[in-house]
């Protein structure tokens, strides 16, 4: 299993934060979104929030391909509708590459690797 950590900003207004959190409550995302995530080889996914920052932790299986997931998402009208809805709340990081929303973090320390 591979762990991925990605970051994105959120509109810090209390209304936007409340709406985003409500859309992500248990049962909030449309079934098609959860189905798409699971079908891509993502085995676990969590989104954490603090201030105006979101952190996504994903664990993926050996068959996961970010490119294949992106292509499937682009062809799925349910996913595209969800992404358009989420765009209302999300803000790209100032250093995000063009066209990239969630930005991957690089691990710089692991206790497991320490003596």
Tens of pLDDT, residues 72-112: 999 999 999 999 999 999 999 999 999 889 999 999 999 99
pTM of the model: 0.92
Contact (Cβ atoms closer than 8 angstroms) between residue 78 and residue 32:
yes
- The predicted pLDDT at position 82 comes to 98
**pLDDT, tens digit, 9 for 90 and up, residues 24-35:** 999 999 999 999
The CA distances from residue 40 to 14, 74, 97, in Å, are 33, 13, 23
The CA distances from residue 111 to 38, 107, 115, in Å, are 29, 11, 8
Q: Give the single-character DSSP code of 32.
A: H
Q: What does R_g of the chain's alpha carbons equal in angstroms?
A: 15
- Cα separation, 54 vs 17, in Å, equals 10
């Amino acid at each position: 299993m591979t762990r991925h950590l990605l970051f994105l900003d959120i509109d810090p207004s209390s209304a936007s934060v409340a709406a985003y959190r409500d859309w992500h409550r248990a049962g909030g995302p449309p079934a098609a979104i959860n189905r798409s995530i699971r079908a891509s080889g993502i085995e676990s996914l969590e989104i954490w929030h603090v201030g105006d920052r979101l952190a996504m932790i994903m664990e993926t299986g050996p068959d996961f391909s970010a490119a294949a997931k992106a292509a499937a998402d682009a062809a799925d009208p349910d996913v595209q509708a969800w992404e358009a809805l989420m765009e209302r709340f999300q803000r790209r990081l100032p250093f995000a590459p063009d066209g990239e929303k969630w930005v991957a973090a690089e691990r710089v320390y692991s206790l497991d690797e320490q003596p």
